[in-house]
A and B are shown apart, each in its own frame.
Chain A
Amino acid sequence: MARFTPHTEADIREMLDAIGLDSVDDLFSDVPTKLKEDLDLPPALSEYEALRDVETLARKNTSGLPMFLGAGAYDRIVPAAVGAMLSRGEYLTAYTPYQPEISQGGLQVIFEFQSMISELTGLEVANASVYDGANAVVEAALMTARLTKRDPKVAVSDNLNPRYRQVMEAYGVEISELPGDGGTTDFSAVPEDVSGVFVQSPGYFGTVEDIEAAAEAAHGAGALCVAVCDPVSLAVLEAPGELGADIAVGEAQPLGMNLSFGGPYAGYMATREKFVRQLPGRIAGETVDADGKLAYVLTLRGREQDIRRARANSNICTNQALTALAATVYTALMGPEGLREVAQLSASKAHYLAKKLADAGLELRYPDAPYLWEFVVEVGEVSGVNEALLKAGVVGGYDLGDGGMLVAVTEKRTKDEMDAFVEVVANSREVSNA
């Protein structure tokens, strides 16, 4: 117990005397329901023993192999400087910056994060982040309902990540299906009663969608347009704000976050200034202090649960400050050119791989749809192919469950890794077709 709690027997005695109690047990005399017996927990371990077990369990995982899995989380390079900043205790062990005079560091990071998201999305105002991309999507859906004063009902196609859709369903958002056509969505028939029209670009299947068409369709139905975008893609694809989207959201994981088995990531949200009062979550704004010095503070707090309680526009309390810091440091290191190069490298490699697969006789599911770095290839029995890939030391793509493999390529992948991937996929198909 002495490691993290400093109390000696003498401390405890003196403190109990000051309180006027005889024993530590007396501190709980007001608790009517006592534990019947001790908890059934394993004995306490030293740091060394605990971390030795961590290593043992880590070895039961398959990691460190070239990876072609994406589907919403991407194996991108994380610069060393990102980890260095995240490990600073001043960021790591602070709380929400409710006391701005002693939280200017965290507040300015949020302000810079918001600014970067605004720049990338072409929208005027961003929040400090929400839990993850899926939650940014559901919060955007609820936001469209508040802004249009309609019930939360959104038009989506199967090119929206199905996990995002599942979160919307859990939150009671009604889903209206838009037809797909060769990997892209047909926005020509948006129902008149939806509050929002969602367009994911690049979509779940990797294809680049027409945000402008989605925005026109949404506005024609009196609804709002929500664009769901990979932030790295925005280095090369037109900003959703320029194309008429009212809200842009997405998963910020590709900006310097470890895969970490699915979290922590961070969802970003940006919108037009006129909608800011319906934007959920924290927002850092600029102001001055009593000496007129520039400073930052959490603002528009009247939207939030701790002030408005039952009438808040979301129950969201926290953001993802530490992972948003990762995104901020990453984006600062990359800059517009670095980010463009990440996108360009990934796209070049993905197109190389797709061509090699086609040359080996495999079919792409959406050969005519534009894509950046993710695509669907028809392989038949995906799990068998992935097992063959694993034997060759490669983590294959995502099994869509219908014979399609969703393949993602990042700047990390090398020509040799991709060539090996093609060889295994082509061979294992021949075996299964034989």
Chain B
Amino acid sequence: MLSESTTTLGALIRDRGREGRRGFALPKNDVADVDLSSVIPEKHLRGKKPGLPEVDEPTVIRHYTNLSRKNQAIDTTFYPLGSCTMKHNPRANEVAAATPGFAGLHPLQPESQVQGALQVMHELQGFLAEVSGLPAVSLQPLAGAQGELTSILMVKRYFEDAGDDERTTVIVPETAHGTNPATATMAGFKSREVGVDEHGGVDVDELREAVDGTTAALMITNPNTCGVYERNIAEIAAILHEAGAFLYMDGANMNANLGRLRPADAGVDIMHYNLHKTFSTPHGGGGPGCGAIASIEKLSGFRPDPVVERNGEGFRFARPEKSIGRVAGFHGNFGPVLRAWNYIRMHGLDLRDVTDMAVLNANYIRAKLGDAYRVPYNELCKHEVVIQPPEGKRALDIAKGLIDFGYHPPTIYFPLVVKEAMLIEPTETESKETLDDFIEAMLQLAEASEEDLQAAPVKAPTRRLDETRAARNLKARW
């Protein structure tokens, strides 16, 4: 066996350099150098040089390129991660975002200098209002979780404004994303859970029990996180509205609604979008995203400041009358906004095909895996399907086995109401052949031996990790 490695280079970028190496040349100073110690009191000046890498550009490029090769991504593999909508990212969106006339814009340039950017924002506000049926849009929230928080803060401010101080509770189904109850708490509400019925939908009887004059809102996901459409949505909305409360929708699953259902038609009052999911602004390895919100007219005055409105021939920023304030330093994540706007313009009415094919793909997987795996809600699913491994096998082991087949595993152990849950979301951008190959891998894993499954993965850059050790002996820096 030959030696595995002869490198003198360490694994971290800091270990790959040498004191005195530089990776970038700056322009020469064309004015006099100021001696900082003559303009800043000595006690404010840095004593010790920070321990940063000292490397050249070729080393930087090679290091981060090689690291990237240890990452699986949509560009390299099928990525059926439930609740995350890992669809293909059209490259035209990247070209749009990199256009110098947008990429170089300062957020505080006067409105007259940013009319193109304001037009993009205004048009996207219109698109999102049209798709949801909810007319009042804000593009400011920087992520889905912040879209949730913004929505719930708006609801809170609505009741404060109405002089109603009884509304202390937000109801959350037990199938909800973890961000929902965390959001309710963060906004200063008590979070109360309701159970689910045999379809994975909100248990209407339990909801009726739970709703009263202290209810501010229900946070619902539709289709829900079990991949099933909330068939009682109209009744659910009625229960809330009769109690003077709002129906909020977590829009993580909008990829099942485009052109097929407007949340407003189902009685939703306010919702957030995940532009990085539904409209394919890339996930970027976990951010940046955009958690734009849309609401009924009654809540529009509470939106974050500013929103974009028409101003004769042009556009301007405006502060909604009773705004909750700001949730971002500037106007939101304009890069994802521009990409989503471009994505929607490239699809137009074909957005419905996006939803149709996403739902077709999920149901195809459900049909093909229904014998080897348990499907707790084995009925028409929407854009994702929740399954359970065969008796005696663990979701975690199947997931790690999929890695050896070259796939990114689905979401596991979520939703919490399903034991050993595996939540599969194929998205519309995958072909039948890709799905067939994945299904074949899943069928083989259903038959695999305990020993092989527990050893997996063996073909990934690393084997299974000792996660307990990472938490016990925290080492979060070099």
Q: Which of A3, A99, A115, A314 is B408 in contact with, Cβ under 8 Å?
A: A99
Q: Is the CB of B44 within 8 A of A237?
A: yes
Cα(A4)–Cα(B342), bound, Å:
14
Q: Is the CB of A285 within 8 A of B67?
A: no
Known: A119-B52, A328-B64, A414-B30. 17 other contacts (CB 8 A): A15-B363, A27-B359, A51-B92, A64-B104, A96-B283, A97-B285, A102-B408, A104-B461, A112-B12, A261-B106, A261-B331, A262-B328, A288-B465, A306-B414, A315-B145, A317-B178, A338-B24
A190 shortest CB reach to chain B, Å: 20
**What A residues does B349 contact at CB under 8 A?**
38-39, 41, 43-44
B21: Cβ under 8 A from any A Cβ? yes
B86: Cβ under 8 A from any A Cβ? yes
Which residue of chain A has the shortest Cβ distance to B102 in the bound complex? A58
Q: Is the CB of A344 within 8 A of B330?
A: no
**What A residues does B266 contact at CB under 8 A?**
33
Place the interface of chain B in its size category.
35 or more
A384 shortest CB reach to chain B, Å: 12
Q: Is the CB of B345 within 8 A of A262?
A: no
Q: Is the CB of B181 within 8 A of A309?
A: yes
| Given A285-B471, A347-B36: A87 and B115 interface contact (C-beta under 8 Å) | no
A320: Cβ under 8 A from any B Cβ? yes
Q: Is the CB of A263 within 8 A of B334?
A: yes
B29: Cβ under 8 A from any A Cβ? yes
A-contact bits for B358-399, CB 8 A (1 contact / 0 none): 011101101110000000000110000000000000000001
B170 shortest CB reach to chain A, Å: 10
- Which of B204-212, B239-247, B254-262 contacts its partner? B254-262
| Given A94-B71, A251-B329, A332-B60: A7 and B108 interface contact (C-beta under 8 Å) | no
A348: Cβ under 8 A from any B Cβ? yes
**What A residues does B89 contact at CB under 8 A?**
92-93
A423: Cβ under 8 A from any B Cβ? no
| Given A4-B88, A90-B73: A119 and B95 interface contact (C-beta under 8 Å) | no
A-B contact pairs, 26 of them (CB 8 A): A4-B429, A19-B367, A43-B349, A50-B346, A59-B116, A61-B102, A61-B117, A73-B107, A79-B24, A90-B69, A91-B68, A102-B70, A102-B461, A126-B476, A242-B48, A261-B331, A285-B471, A286-B470, A286-B475, A308-B182, A310-B184, A323-B284, A333-B23, A338-B23, A347-B39, A348-B34
- Which of A131-139, A358-366, A424-432 contacts its partner? A131-139
B22: Cβ under 8 A from any A Cβ? yes
| Given A91-B71, A314-B182, A318-B289: A15 and B364 interface contact (C-beta under 8 Å) | yes
Q: Which of A67, A90, A112, A323 is B106 in contact with, Cβ under 8 Å?
A: A67
Cα(A103)–Cα(B26), bound, Å:
34
Q: Is the CB of B329 within 8 A of A265?
A: yes
Q: Which of B84, B105, B178, B186 is A308 in contact with, Cβ under 8 Å?
A: B178
- Which of B146-154, B293-301, B440-448 contacts its partner? B146-154
Q: Is the CB of A60 within 8 A of B260?
A: no
**What A residues does B228 contact at CB under 8 A?**
30
B271: Cβ under 8 A from any A Cβ? no
A434: Cβ under 8 A from any B Cβ? no
| Given A58-B99, A235-B46, A273-B474: A89 and B329 interface contact (C-beta under 8 Å) | no
Q: Is the CB of A167 within 8 A of B327?
A: yes
A-contact bits for B3-17, CB 8 A (1 contact / 0 none): 000000001111001
Which residue of chain A has the shortest Cβ distance to B85 in the bound complex? A95
**What A residues does B68 contact at CB under 8 A?**
85, 88, 90-91, 105
Cα(A390)–Cα(B471), bound, Å:
54
Cα(A24)–Cα(B97), bound, Å:
34
Q: Which of B22, B44, B73, B92 is A338 in contact with, Cβ under 8 Å?
A: B22
**What A residues does B130 contact at CB under 8 A?**
39-41
A26 shortest CB reach to chain B, Å: 8
A-contact bits for B394-412, CB 8 A (1 contact / 0 none): 0000011001000011000
Which residue of chain B has the shortest Cβ distance to A103 in the bound complex? B71
Q: Which of A72, A167, A201, A312 is B326 in contact with, Cβ under 8 Å?
A: A167
Q: Is the CB of B145 within 8 A of A316?
A: yes
B166: Cβ under 8 A from any A Cβ? no
Q: Is the CB of B67 within 8 A of A109?
A: yes
Q: Is the CB of A34 within 8 A of B99?
A: no
B136: Cβ under 8 A from any A Cβ? no
Which residue of chain B has the shortest Cβ distance to A47 in the bound complex? B92
B107 shortest CB reach to chain A, Å: 3
A177: Cβ under 8 A from any B Cβ? no
Cα(A89)–Cα(B465), bound, Å:
25
A148: Cβ under 8 A from any B Cβ? no
